[in-house]
């Protein structure tokens, strides 16, 4: 009987997409990926990003396909492709119109962050000095996202806002790309009470490989990263954890400025972990691109995690989460 490899699903990437990277996804056996298609874009600008991806699906039909439902991952696996799911790192695509949430979901969006570092109309970002929590509009938006099946992502949100979102939402929410603050106290990493608020309600935490989120930065070892995951599994349950690499492969450094600044400031926001001009730090030697997912898989086994736990963290848990949360409520 042929060995069927475990699912590999990445909870977040923002690469400078190309045929090369699509080929590396296949070489790395990545069955599905959540890609950011908006940081600060308006609704119209986001529609243009959907359009650009539609062209890539036409150009590279043997490598990638559009993902809308968990069942699309099954179809991708049987046809040797990667299913691509869309998300936003900011609520800017819905602008100030709650009615656009259902339209964005219909177009293919499956994740939306309520904030990106700053205060938004919905919640408070993790860079603000004071976290006022979920706003009046935020409560309405959470209810509408729950209704249509657009997943709430709090990766760049403040602690109070994240906990309140987890409590208010009738569906599990997620932090797609961050690590425990106790392991590495980066501004964007999440404290214990925040992770518990999400995972205890059926939500997911995706572990980030972005060097500013890693203990030791670029020099972080595979063993340290995998032991952190094993410790988190013991604390929160292995079935609530996945990988969300936050890989920004082949992006020019100018993109970091766009990510952090958008249109809200004339000043460069240096962000966490850097006092110099913003730029992408080098990735750890053991994870350079999508061909290295097997390295993480083996690293998790080497720190004592079971095959069942490893299979869940590498993709099975995301698959279950997708299946339970992408559809609308009756």
If you average pLDDT over every residue of the chain, what do you get?
93
Task: Tell me the three state secondary structure of residue 128.
Answer: coil
CATH number of 9-325: 3.20.20.140
> Does 277 score more than 80 pLDDT?
no
The CA–CA distances, whole Å, from 139 to 110, 172, 191 equal 19, 15, 23
Q: In Å, how far are 71, 142, 185 from 61, measured between CA atoms?
A: 18, 35, 42
Q: What share of the chain is helix, strand, coil (3-state, %, to 5)?
A: 40, 15, 45
- For residue 81, give both structure tokens: 């492709």
Q: How confident is the model at residue 179 (pLDDT cuts 50, 70, 90)?
A: very high
Q: What is the DSSP letter of 303?
A: T
Separation of CA 113 from chain center: 9
Lowest mean pLDDT among 17-31, 34-48, 82-96, 238-252: 238-252
Per DSSP, helices labelled H in the chain are 19-27, 43-59, 71-78, 100-107, 136-148, 159-168, 192-199, 222-236, 254-261, 293-302, 307-311, 317-325
Q: Which residue carries 């926001």 as its tokens?
A: 269
Alpha carbons 90 and 156: distance in angstroms, whole number: 9
Give the residue from 247, 260, 254 showing the smallest Cα distance to 279. 254
**Percentage of the chain exceeding pLDDT 70:** 92
Domain extent listing, the chain: 9-325
Confidence of residue 329 (pLDDT cuts 50, 70, 90): low
**Between β-strands 109-113 and 151-153, what pairing exists: parallel, antiparallel or unpaired?**
parallel
Q: Are 125 and 116 in contact (CB under 8 A)?
A: yes
pLDDT exceeding 90 applies to what percent of the chain? 86
- Under the banding of pLDDT at 50, 70 and 90, the label for residue 266 is confident
């Amino acid at each position: 009987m042929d060995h069927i490899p475990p699912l590999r699903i990445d909870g977040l990437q923002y690469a400078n997409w190309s045929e090369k990277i699509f080929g590396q996804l296949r070489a790395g056996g990545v069955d599905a990926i959540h890609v950011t298609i908006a940081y600060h874009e308006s609704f119209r600008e986001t529609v243009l990003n959907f359009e650009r991806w539609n062209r890539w699906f036409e150009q590279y039909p043997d490598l990638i396909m559009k993902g809308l439902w968990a069942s699309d991952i099954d179809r991708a696996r049987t046809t040797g492709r990667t299913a691509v799911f869309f998300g936003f790192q900011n609520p800017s695509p819905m602008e100030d119109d709650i009615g656009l949430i259902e339209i964005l979901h219909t177009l293919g969006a499956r994740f939306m962050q309520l904030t990106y570092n700053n205060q938004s109309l919905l919640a408070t970002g993790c860079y603000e000095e004071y976290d006022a929590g979920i706003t009046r509009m935020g409560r309405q938006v959470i209810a509408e996202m729950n209704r249509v099946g657009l997943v709430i992502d709090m990766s760049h949100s403040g602690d109070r806002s994240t906990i309140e979102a987890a409590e208010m939402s009738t569906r599990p929410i997620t932090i797609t790309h961050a690590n425990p603050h106790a392991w590495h106290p980066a501004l964007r990493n999440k404290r214990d009470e925040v992770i518990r608020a999400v995972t205890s309600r059926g939500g997911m935490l995706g572990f980030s490989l972005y060097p500013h989120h890693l203990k030791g930065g670029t020099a972080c070892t595979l063993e340290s990263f995998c032991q952190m995951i094993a410790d988190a599994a013991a604390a929160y349950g292995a079935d609530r954890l996945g990988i969300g690499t936050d890989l920004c492969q082949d992006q020019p450094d100018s993109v970091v400025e766009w990510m952090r600044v958008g249109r809200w400031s004339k000043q460069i926001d240096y962000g966490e972990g850097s006092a110099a001009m913003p730029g992408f730090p080098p990735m750890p030697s053991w994870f350079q691109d999508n061909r290295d997912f097997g390295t993480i898989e083996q690293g998790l086994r080497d720190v004592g995690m079971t095959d069942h736990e490893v299979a869940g963290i590498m993709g099975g848990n995301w698959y279950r989460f997708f299946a339970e949360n992408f559809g609308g409520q009756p």
